Amino acid sequence: MRKLNYIAIILVMLLGSACETEPIIFTGPYFVRFTETSLSLKESFSKPVLIEVHQAGDALEEDLVIAYKVSGNARSGVDYVITGEVGKVTIKKGEYLGIISLSLINNANNIIRSQDLILTLESSSASERKVGQGKSNIGSTFTLTIIDDCILGGTYIGQRNSVNQSGITITSSDCETYMLSNWNINLFNTDAPMDLIFIDNGDNTLTIPEQEEENIADEVATIKGTGVVDPLTRIIIMTITLVDFDGQPQVTITYLPD
């Protein structure tokens, strides 16, 4: 019995060693490339757009400077602005990532279309870091599609009675009828978002047609109202009438572009 157990152990050891595979170790060629190759954003996106360029290989002991070309039909200074030196991105010594940072310009004119900003890596300051991955130079080009937004489209902060609420969005498919994602600023005691439809009258005034709010009781759900827009700052002030309440009280809410 002991002999059989010993043989079984030997067989298990032999089978286990036969199943082992050698680790695959990347040996090159080393390269630099865009981490992602495309992105689409509305022009009302207000945060910096951070485009990553990374290197494959050991971190270098000196800065790695990568030259890139800008092309496409998006216009610098009109549709976007690149921060820092245009045409160069640096991966600092000892690091693996470099960042091209740019900001979108919200020049909304109620014409819905898109523009492309194309960045193409051309060369690196280290000869052993080729541009693009593999024979097809994967990742050597990055395309940012900038989608035009309506004049009032974007992200807003709602204000009422010294209470601020961020993350409110306004969207539209025709730049006339808009959807506001949550108008309930310190009014109804619920966390459920309350959307609201309003119409841009084209003369810096708004109309909130009579509508029912789905997330509150039917007997108090009807609202309507008016609004005004500052064409320079895009600040919106809405006066909402609570139709189902006695005396039809009105609530004033301000929305500031975020």
Domain ranges of the chain: 31-147, 154-257
Would you place residue 25 in the very low, low, confident or very high pLDDT band (cuts 50, 70, 90)?
low
Q: What pLDDT digit, counting tens, does each position of 92-149 carry?
A: 999 999 999 999 998 766 666 789 999 999 999 998 899 999 989 999 999 999 998 8
Asked if 73 contacts 114 with a C-beta cutoff of 8 angstroms, the reply is no
Global pTM reads 0.68
Average pLDDT, the chain: 89
What is the SS3 assignment for 95?
coil
Helix, strand, coil shares, percent, the chain, to 5? 10, 45, 45
Res 208 pLDDT > 50: yes
The answer to whether the Cα torsion of 170, 105, 108, 204 is positive or negative is: positive
213 vs 199 pLDDT, higher one: 199
- Give the pLDDT of residue 46: 83
Query: CA nearest 229: which of 156, 165, 161?
Result: 156
- Give the pLDDT of residue 12: 47
Domain 31-147 has CATH 3.30.110.40: no
Percent with pLDDT over 90 in the chain? 67
50 vs 106 pLDDT, higher one: 50
How distant, in Å, are the alpha carbons of 45, 49, 61, 122, 155 from that of 88? Answer: 24, 16, 19, 10, 31
Q: What pLDDT digit, counting tens, does each position of 135-194 carry?
A: 899 999 999 999 988 889 999 999 999 899 999 999 998 899 999 999 999 888 888 889
Mean pLDDT, rounded, for 213-235: 91
Query: CA nearest 177: which of 203, 154, 207, 148?
Result: 207
How distant, in Å, are the alpha carbons of 45, 65, 80, 102, 140 from that of 119? Answer: 19, 15, 13, 12, 8
Query: CA nearest 223: which of 255, 189, 186, 195?
Result: 195
- Give the pLDDT of residue 9: 46
Mean pLDDT, rounded, for 229-234: 90
Would you place residue 228 in the very low, low, confident or very high pLDDT band (cuts 50, 70, 90)?
very high
Res 253 pLDDT > 50: yes
